[in-house]
Structure 1
Amino acid sequence: MKKIALLFVALITLSFTKIDNDKVRFRATIENRHSDTLVIRSRSFNKIVVADKEGNFSDEFSVEEGFYQLFDGAEYAKLYLKNGYDLRMSLNAEKFDESIIFEGDGANENNFLAEMALDDEKFDYAGMLQASETEFPQLLQKRKEFTLNKFEGKDLETNFVNAYKKDFEQSMAGLQAYYNESLKVRKLNGQKSPTFNYENYKGGNTSLDDFKGKYVYVDVWATWCGPCRAEIPALKKLEEHYHGKKEIVFVSISIDQAKDHDKWKKFVKDKELGGVQLFADKDWNSDFVKGYQINGIPRFIIIGPKGEIVNADAPRPSAEDIYQTIDTLLK
């Protein structure tokens, strides 16, 4: 009778811990966490998981099988979820990618994603995009072979492998397209620069000819552009560093629409923007913008003392090599 009672208790326990196949169970333990919430989302899904009193995260929810993005308040990680998974994640938010570990159902697939994310972070894509037309296809092929070889010896679900390979091929196609566009821009180097003659925030108009004999570091931006605004602190530091250097001038060209002209003036004043602040005449359709084939901002450009294009896609103010780039020119 005692054995029967113990068996009955065991069965009850199993029934309470059994994972619903119509849901995924997700749990996380995070050291040095950035927030008391985790956001799991895709284009058609958004789930907020709140930490309990002990700081642990746990929830169950239904999903469509596929890739999701996890956000901890500061950084992102890629997840693969499907109903029936009982997935446990642990990490140290101060190290994030380097510390993510998954256990439970779906662990193999998600540990693979974490491994590839770390490799992606270390890979020199910037250097790859600077390769010659002959070198780039070879480097791209090597990158493809390296990634596909990562599947060997891994116990991964077929659906996951197929989905990952599809996403990877799309990203490689995107990288090829981006390289093609950047190559067009690079071929502008050495040519005579398109000119400008735009309204100056301080009054009147300012043209490129006004800066003959100087290097011109141009920032093409807009008040509505988040990445542009993110570069402002670094740009201010850069301008301050070279303050008093007569060989270089910093010019910011806003491509805000005409209806936002007053917004631009207020932004320049409120943010105390330095350098030469100009307002392009036809936003994206301005001759200077079209001449540099700009289809995304911010774009930084270096023009030489004779009006030649030194770098049609120069390093951003926040880039590690920007000071070295400018110092080399001013020697």
Structure 2
Amino acid sequence: MRKIILLFAVLAIVSCETEKKDYVTLNGKLKTPGIEKLTVQGRDFSKEITVNSDGTFSDTLKVSDGVHAISSGNDRVTLFLKNGYDLSMEFKGENLADGVLFNGEGAETNNFMQNKRAFYMSDKANPKSYFTLDKEAFDTKLAAAKSELKGYKDKAQNLDSVIVVMDARNDEMFFGYIESNYESMHETLTRLGKGKASPVFTNYENFKGGKTSLADLKGKYVYIDVWATWCAPCKAEIPSLKALEKEYAGKNIEFVSISVDKPEAHETWENMVGAEQLGGIQLYADNNFESQFILDYGINAIPRFILIDPAGNIVDADAPRPSDAKIKELFTELGI
């Protein structure tokens, strides 16, 4: 009888050990002091996690399986959560966005995502870094990028199927864009390379009155923002552009915004420039996307930023956005 009881006890223990949890366990330690809480958000899910005074945190989450974000204010990192995961997060830097090393159940999928994120946040995923190369160098760099991503995939044999599908789609879109646009973009960027004479615009309507041409701005660097009132990414850059204009006020640089709105949106443009108190030189292109200046630069997507030197030559035909720290690095390099 005792043996039977012991047998049932063993079976009960085994059952408890193999029963899958219907929640996620998440723990880690932040390197940034003073953070009191983290927010985890996903599809139909949001929960705040308390952070202890020493930066440690631990909590259980009953989630809808899928991609989530863990954040502190605007600092955030993406992770994949699935009920049953038991994840420990080791942060690589003071910011969440600096990256994470995961350990425990679910670590393989999440570390794979971190590797892919690092790739797509690097210059290896900057189309311009491919388009500026000659064909031989282009083929070499493209093959190296594909090999690197394949290596991440080969090391992660047990990825969640949702991530497998998403990952394949993302890579297909990225490499498809690079390969299908190489010839046309290479020609454009070669023609519009650093030091080449910039295409010009002439007599564009100035919001403050009169007409303005690129020739009027010679003697100064010119940072051009090609945008439109309907363009959400364009409008998202406005706060950063305003801050940049304020920081470089009085320097040897003019900030020029060229709207490619259609004629029927002219009043909308005027109202927005006035209401948002947009600074710099606000111009209205003479024929929206069909304006010769826009065609000469091969612009078919906005926002697009261009930097021209005091002599009217191109510094960068596809310059960093105002929100990108690299623009200030470029200004510093030029002595602006």
Which interval holds the TM-score relative to the shorter structure? Answer: 0.7 to 0.9
Residue matched to 1:42: none
1:38 match: secondary structure: strand
CA distance in 2, matches of 1:207, 1:234: 25
Residue matched to 2:144: 142
- The superposition leaves residues 215-274 of structure 1 with CA deviations (integer Å, 9 ceiling, x where unpaired) of 4321111234343334334433443444334x5422111223444433333332333322
2:113 match: secondary structure: helix
Q: Give the TM-score, by structure 1 length.
A: 0.72
Query: Is it true that 1:207 corresponds to 2:204 in the alignment?
Result: no
CA distance in 2, matches of 1:218, 1:235: 11
- The superposition leaves residues 120-164 of structure 1 with CA deviations (integer Å, 9 ceiling, x where unpaired) of 545654483365223121111112223323455655369689745
Residue matched to 1:86: 84
CA distance in 1, matches of 2:49, 2:327: 45
Q: Report the more deviating stretch, 171-180 or 195-204.
A: 171-180
1:204-283 matches, within 5 Å, as: 204-245=210-251, 248-283=253-288
Pairing partner for 1:70 from 61, 68, 71 = 68
CA distance in 1, matches of 2:140, 2:263: 45
- Asked if structure 2 preserves the Cα contact closer than 8 Å seen for 1:102 and 1:110, the reply is no
Aligned AA (2:275): D
CA distance in 2, matches of 1:33, 1:6: 48
Describe the shift of the 1:90–1:330 C-alpha distance in structure 2 as closer, same or farther (beyond 3 A): closer
CA distance in 2, matches of 1:56, 1:158: 22
Query: Residue 294 of structure 1: CA displacement?
Result: 1.1
Query: Is it true that 1:288 corresponds to 2:293 in the alignment?
Result: yes
Q: Give the TM-score, by structure 2 length.
A: 0.71
Aligned AA (1:251): V
Aligned AA (1:283): N
- Asked if structure 1 preserves the Cα contact closer than 8 Å seen for 2:67 and 2:79, the reply is yes
CA distance in 1, matches of 2:98, 2:262: 40
Describe the shift of the 1:110–1:305 C-alpha distance in structure 2 as closer, same or farther (beyond 3 A): closer
Describe the shift of the 1:284–1:236 C-alpha distance in structure 2 as closer, same or farther (beyond 3 A): same
Aligned AA (1:111): N
- Asked if structure 2 preserves the Cα contact closer than 8 Å seen for 1:70 and 1:78, the reply is yes
Query: Is it true that 1:50 corresponds to 2:47 in the alignment?
Result: yes
Query: Is it true that 1:173 corresponds to 2:179 in the alignment?
Result: no
- Asked if structure 2 preserves the Cα contact closer than 8 Å seen for 1:256 and 1:283, the reply is yes
Describe the shift of the 1:249–1:60 C-alpha distance in structure 2 as closer, same or farther (beyond 3 A): closer
CA RMSD between the two structures: 4.1
CA distance in 1, matches of 2:104, 2:286: 57
Residue matched to 1:186: 189
CA distance in 2, matches of 1:232, 1:162: 36
- Asked if structure 1 preserves the Cα contact closer than 8 Å seen for 2:63 and 2:81, the reply is no
Q: Any gaps of 5 or more consecutive residues in structure 1?
A: 40-45
1:86 match: secondary structure: coil
Describe the shift of the 1:94–1:7 C-alpha distance in structure 2 as closer, same or farther (beyond 3 A): farther
Query: Residue 94 of structure 1: CA displacement?
Result: 3.6
Aligned length: 312
- Asked if structure 2 preserves the Cα contact closer than 8 Å seen for 1:215 and 1:302, the reply is yes
